Amino acid sequence: MGVRTPHEMQDPTSYTPGFSYRHGALTCESVSLAGIAERAGTPAFVYSRAAFTAAYRELDRALGRLPHRICYAVKANSNLAVLKGFARLASSFDIVSGGELFRLRSIGVRGEQIVFSGVGKTREEIREGLRARILLFNVESEAELEVLASEAARVGWAAPAAIRVNPDIEAGGHPHIATGHHRHKFGIDWAEARRLYLRHRNSLWIEWRGISGHIGSQITSAAPFWRASARLAKYFAELRGEGIALRLLDIGGGIGIRYTNEKPLTFAEYARALPRTLGSTMRAAGGELLVEPGRALTGNAGVLLTRVLYTKRSRGKTFVIVDAAMNDLIRPALYGAAHRITPVKQPAARVSVSRVDVVGPVCESGDFFLHDWPMPEVDAGDLLAIWSAGAYGFVESSNYNSRPRAAEVLVEGGRFRVVRRRETREDLLRGERI
Ligand SMILES: *Cc1c(COP(=O)(O)O)cnc(C)c1O
């Protein structure tokens, strides 16, 4: 028995629009998660199309009349069906690899909807981006700029480019996801960036289109967004003053979400955190503000559905051993992240709880989901939902311990589809030779 703190008692369905309890059971839109587990097995990632559509529309509405373009950050959740959903909303996309470009091209996304970010693009990836006629390369070093120019000369047209400026701002929920400070590997200092813009202002092979500055991820306060975008807007104006006709101001992604007790910005608050003058700046330039949200669009639109394998008690501790593991969802081990976990069968209102550790079967002490978390009594065979798993979930999964990767399921209204089948034993051996 235990006492729960108010935040531990919070019902995650209160802030995850795609999920609710019906007749005592958890549903995604109007499909029961138990039914999905029955058909698709566990562990399985379950996504609500309505939830990510609603998030996209809400952000779009919040940005309102500010000329803008939402570039969904593919790395957060790159399942083809999810990408197709965003493409149907006329979203643009932010990619960080040739593999992500390949995914988008395979579902018919046009190059002009694609922004290519990343600190280590290979020559081949740059070539692929050029051939696809993408909207923008966000360049992160002088050396990359040289490669971009030389590859552009090879294909015979100018490369559309921006420099990712490091705005030297501390932001981001965890050291591994903060990127905007000068000690991080990302971006170029303003002084150096300015020199490169000017040096290549008349280049045949570099067409300066914009400036960019993603500062980190899981940011839950307004100040870093304000500071970074104000700084970028100033640089943007300065370069335009030098006669470099920039049109795209890319402020990156990083909008945080609620996992447990975070108090993230609403999209309206985010939009209000941007400098007032941004609208007139963009209109004067005949350009667009680019935003690159990943987590904020898909994070709370998905859960990881898992089944209890065993429970065991040892010296006053209770372990709930589930069939999902760190290879399926590595965020707790990688970032110290906490994802809420609740039974799929709705617990009675006054149910007694005890503190448990929810752990996976992988041979690592780092293979846990939550420590000392209050849970109603659960038994082998019970289904649990691990919340907020729609971003940086499946995409960060692996085959560690030779575990086949989980299925992914997309729910749309009263229907669901397996949009990535569970891997098989044969998949595990694919590509290997003795
Ligand atoms: C990861 C990343 C994003 C998305 O970050 P979120 O925190 O998921 O919004 C956007 N832009 C760039 C350049 C990134 O690397």
Residues paired with residue 386 on neighbouring β-strands, in sequence order? 304, 341
- Say how far apart CA 191 and CA 179 lie, in whole Å: 18
Q: What domains sit in the chain, N to C, each tagged with a CATH number? A: 6-48+299-422 (2.40.37.10), 78-293 (3.20.20.10)
Cβ(302) to ligand 1 under 6 A?
no
Closest CA to 249 of 221, 219, 275: 275
Q: How far is the CA of 410 from the centre of ligand 1 (A)?
A: 23
For 269-352, list the strands marked E by DSSP.
288-291, 302-314, 317-322, 341-343
* DSSP letters for 403-427: PPPPEEEEEETTEEEEEEPPP-HHH
pLDDT at 44: 99
Best residue among 59, 72, 74, 75 to mutate for probing ligand 1's pocket (most ligand atoms within 8 Å of CB) is 75
Q: How far is the CA of 219 from the centre of ligand 1 (A)?
A: 11
The encoded tokens of residue 95 equal 């990619």
Residues contacting 365, CB < 8 A, separation 6+: none
Provide the b/e sequence for 84-118 (b: ≥16 CB within 10 Å).
Answer: bbbbeeebbbbbbbbebbebbeeeebebebbbbbb
pLDDT at 10: 82
pLDDT at 255: 98
pLDDT at 258: 97
Q: Could you confirm whether 71 is annotated as catalytic?
A: no
Per-residue pLDDT of the chain (434 residues; tens, 9 = 90+): 456 666 777 899 999 999 999 999 999 999 999 999 999 999 999 999 999 999 999 999 999 999 999 999 999 999 999 999 999 999 999 999 999 999 999 999 999 999 999 999 999 999 999 999 999 999 999 999 999 999 999 999 999 999 999 887 766 556 666 666 666 777 899 999 999 999 999 999 999 999 999 999 999 999 999 999 999 999 999 999 999 999 999 999 999 999 999 999 999 999 999 999 999 999 999 999 999 999 999 999 999 999 999 999 988 899 999 999 999 999 999 999 999 999 999 988 888 899 999 999 998 888 999 999 999 999 999 999 999 999 999 999 999 999 999 999 999 999 999 999 999 999 999 999 99
Q: Which atom of ligand 1 is nearest to the CA of 219?
A: 7
Q: What is the CA radius of gyration of the chain?
A: 23
Secondary element (H or E) of residue 280: helix 278-285
Q: 143, 191, 348, 363: which is the annotated catalytic residue? A: 363
Nearest CA to ligand 1 atom 10: 253
Q: How far is the CA of 418 from the centre of ligand 1 (A)?
A: 26
Residues contacting 191, CB < 8 A, separation 6+: none
Q: How far is the CA of 293 from the centre of ligand 1 (A)?
A: 6
What separation in angstroms does the CA of 10 have from each of 125, 219, 251, 352, 355? 45, 21, 32, 15, 16
Cβ(96) to ligand 1 under 6 A?
yes
Nearest CA to ligand 1 atom 3: 253
How many CB atoms within 10 Å of residue 350? Answer: 5
Cβ(73) to ligand 1 under 6 A?
yes
Pairing of strands 44-48, 302-314: antiparallel
- Say how far apart CA 339 and CA 58 lie, in whole Å: 24
Cβ(217) to ligand 1 under 6 A?
yes
